[in-house]
A and B are shown apart, each in its own frame.
Chain A
Amino acid sequence: MELTLFLVGLIAATLRVATPLIFGTLGELFSERSGVLNLGIEGIMFLGAFTGFAVAAKTGSLWIGLLGAIVAGGLAGMLMALLSVRLGVNQHVSGLGITLLATGISLYSFRVIFGESKIPPSIEPFPMLPILPELHVLAPITNQYLLTYIGIAMIAVVWWVIGKTRFGLQIRAVGENPEAADAAGLNVYAIRTRALVIGGALMAVGGAFLTLAQLGSFTFGIIAGRGWVCIALIIFANWQSVNVLFGALIFGGVQALQLRLQTLGFKLPYELFLSLPYVVTIIALTLAGRNASAPSALLKAYRRE
């Protein structure tokens, strides 16, 4: 019985930890399938976390906060498109630039809006949405935030969009061979821009989940490398949306597990536990990454001759 409780709690926590990763990785998937590596993800998730929090705090509405995060993420994606797609700036440089810019703007704005108080400002976050009755043994697993359910559903939506719609086919075409797509009459710039805007919005939702649902407050270390984890997960997932779920669950699972292991009182430095998810990510990447095949045009700016 105790083991059941432990496992149920672990699974429930796993889903929670995986949620921002799912949104972030799906956002990166849109960008990369169109041929653009968006290293702005870490900053855009941070921007989403901040904007969501700030707008919600000022308007009193969590939903308007979420909308604010989506708009901010979309704008950041558009800036990335301007730099890397329109102007053809190196994608590593423009992506890292966006991360620095988005982080800087968020920190600055946070100080301007909320000042430097000893007690960090907080909001009343989204409530949990239980599905099973409280006494059911599996109840904790289905006691999640709405955004977690949306995130899981979003995997199916992205799979459908990429595989079954005109837009998805266009994204795949420009991500694999922009010359051929252009010659076939597709507008490479517009398609990549759209993919980046959607991708940015999804990343921002991933960040906003932390402030609007999980924590209810904004701290400077809130993203803590989750964006970079998403970059790794997309390789693990071999750029396939369905695999994103497994990648996020493995990372989230180990993260949730190490938190529990810490409390069991092993006589080991806690840093070892903290590093566990990253070690597992590296191992998983090494195993899965060998057969990974990136979109052919990834990292290549397209220019007509």
Chain B
Amino acid sequence: MHAVQMKGIVKRFADLTANDNIDFDLEQGEIHALLGENGAGKTTLMRILYGLYHADEGEMLINGTPAVIHSPKDAIRLGIGMVTQHFTLVPTLSVAENMVLGETGSITVNLPDVEKKVAAASERFGIPVKPQALIKHLSVGERQRVEILKALYHDARVLILDEPTAVLVPQEVEVLFDALVRLQNEGLSVIFISHHLNEVMEICDRITVLRDGHSVGTVRKVDTNLKQLANMMVGRENFGVTRQGQREKGRVELCIQGVHATDKKGLPSLKGVSLDVHQGEILGLAGVSGNGQAELSAVLCGTKKTTSGKVMVGDLNLTNAEPSAVCAAGVGRIPEDRYANMVGELSVAENLVLDQLDQFVNRGILDQEKIQENAKKLINEFQIKASPGDRVRTLSGGNMQKVMLARTLSQKPRVVIASQPTRGLDVGATDYVRTTLLEQRDNGAAVLLLSEDLEEIMALSDRIAVIYAGRIMGILPAQEATAEKLGLMMAGAPTLDRKGGVDAEI
């Protein structure tokens, strides 16, 4: 019996066909992945199922009965729940209050009753949530659990999760996957939207791959492998960029000595970090998120002060220098959060010159011609799909990251600080970013790569350092590094007796 069947779905936006005659079916009690690159049409298809969009053509059957879904209200009535990437919770209200927010029909709310029901659902599905907790006090992972619980509270039998892992740290992903398996055992069906092959292979029973608005096909996990999926997803067999060959080590270009710093709350987050990055090498810094990477990157870029320690680039002392001085010294940064580092309302051309205005200004007046020329050149060189006048906020994540890369690398930096440079990017854009980083290395730049993605670290780095709780646990040459060794160091100990703490309880 099919929980959901979608037949010949077509959805057009102006001149773009987001879904072109897509068939999709979901069996009862399965976890079904919807896999594809950014912009492949995954979210559009699911928004149609949830009633947020209306299909131009095609039909839908829920539990074998033809259904017309005009709005999320219809979808909820039919037992479909969706957890979007942007949560729809009111931060100042409690978990229980958020559950009944959309309910009409009675004037009063019996909150203790709701709380009891929430607690019961939380127990039954193994999703730990305190009904009285205020949303604003919850972490992102916890909020996501509340969203899932909200759908279950409204008796969802089909759960749509739109890139649920994009906002989670690795431990939270584990907790999520445990919950999903439990839901499956309870007989629920889950649609899991993702562009991460590994996740899909870990959790799903069947996989439907979309590409450019078309369905490439549906495969069972047991019948497929990573390579085939990647091929279906990007339409080519070979993907994954790796470092080639060994390079002669140059002199030390970036030297970090005993750096201490505090986090937002004023607690120590860097406890004497020392690293040397040589010319022409990529030093990978692996670690579970929240172990000091963000603070280290901020210190190196000049937006955070150290409490002690020293940062040198070549012979220049850049300890606690302003961002403009850091930039002038030839340090380029590829930040983790693209949205926080681009001005969305400004154009691509303007963003491309924002940190080097001196070169594009003539007696206080912007040299428009030069700015446009620069933009055209970089758009071409970095394969950015946009025109110079487009506002950056209208760009996709991958293109935004290319703008960032273009701005940073066009200044030929001696040192590149790349924080999670491929997070949230699709395979094509990821390949591109990685290739570019390797080019920088081959051109003699010193590259510090901070990433939570071990596969990325191991593919690109010449040497790999591991950070844990604000300390460097050790540095390994790439040849000696294995996922197992690194994993142990990331967990904070060279022995097996300690496991990384997973906070499942709220």
Contact = CB atoms under 8 A, between A and B. Distances in A.
Contacts of B323: 182-185
A181 B298 CA distance: 14
Contact of B366 (A169, A185, A186): A169
Contacts of A187: 324
Given A166-B365, A169-B350, A304-B303, A185 B343 contact: no
A172 B368 CA distance: 16
A124 interface: no
Given A164-B368, A165-B364, A167-B364, A182 B343 contact: no
Contact of A172 (B303, B346, B364): B346
A186 B345 CA distance: 17
Contacts of A304: 303-304
Contacts of A183: 301, 303, 323, 333, 335, 340-341, 355
B361 interface: yes
A167 B342 CA distance: 18
A14 B365 CA distance: 34
Contacts of B355: 183-185
Interface of B: 264, 298, 301, 303-304, 322-328, 333, 335, 340-346, 350, 354-355, 357, 361, 364-366, 368
A181 B354 contact: yes
A61 interface: no
A304 B264 CA distance: 10
Contacts of B361: 165-166
A172 B365 contact: no
B322 A177 contact: no
B322 A176 contact: no
A177 B368 contact: no
Interface residues of A, number: 24
Interface in A173-199: 173, 176-177, 179-187
Given A180-B343, A185-B322, A166 B354 contact: no
Given A177-B342, A304-B303, A304-B304, A184 B366 contact: no
A166 B341 contact: no
A169 B340 CA distance: 17
Listed from nearest, the 8 A-B pairs whose CB atoms lie closest are: A185-B324, A184-B355, A166-B361, A176-B345, A177-B343, A184-B354, A185-B323, A176-B343
A173 B341 contact: no
A304 B345 CA distance: 21
Given A173-B354, A177-B344, 17 more contacts: A164-B365, A165-B361, A165-B365, A166-B361, A169-B366, A172-B345, A173-B350, A179-B340, A181-B354, A183-B303, A183-B335, A183-B340, A184-B327, A184-B341, A186-B324, A304-B303, A305-B303
Contacts of A243: none
Interface in A142-182: 164-170, 172-173, 176-177, 179-182
A166 B345 CA distance: 16
A214 interface: no
A262 interface: no
Given A166-B361, A183-B335, A186-B354, A305 B304 contact: yes
A240 interface: no
A240 B91 CA distance: 33
B304 to A, nearest CB: 6
B298 A164 contact: no
Contacts of B303: 182-183, 304-305
A296 interface: yes
A104 B335 CA distance: 48
A180 B355 CA distance: 10
Nearest to A160: B365
A176 B327 contact: no
B344 A166 contact: no
7 contacts: A166-B357, A180-B343, A184-B341, A185-B324, A187-B324, A296-B345, A305-B298
Interface in A224-275: none
B302 to A, nearest CB: 8
Interface in A289-305: 295-296, 304-305
A85 to B, nearest CB: 17
A54 B191 CA distance: 73
Nearest to A185: B324
Contact of A164 (B264, B322, B366): B366
A172 B342 CA distance: 12
A269 B345 CA distance: 48
A183 B366 CA distance: 20
Contacts of A295: 345
Contacts of B333: 183
Contact of B343 (A164, A165, A166, A173): A173
Contact of A185 (B327, B350, B368): B327
Contacts of B341: 179-180, 183-184
Nearest to B357: A166
Contacts of A296: 344-345
A31 to B, nearest CB: 17
Determine which residue in B325, B333, B343 has the highest number of CB atoms from chain A within 10 A of its CB, and name it: B343
A182 B368 CA distance: 23
A173 B355 CA distance: 11
B346 A173 contact: yes
A140 to B, nearest CB: 38
Contacts of B322: 185
A172 B324 CA distance: 18
Contacts of B365: 164-166
A168 B368 CA distance: 13
A78 B301 CA distance: 30
Nearest to B328: A185
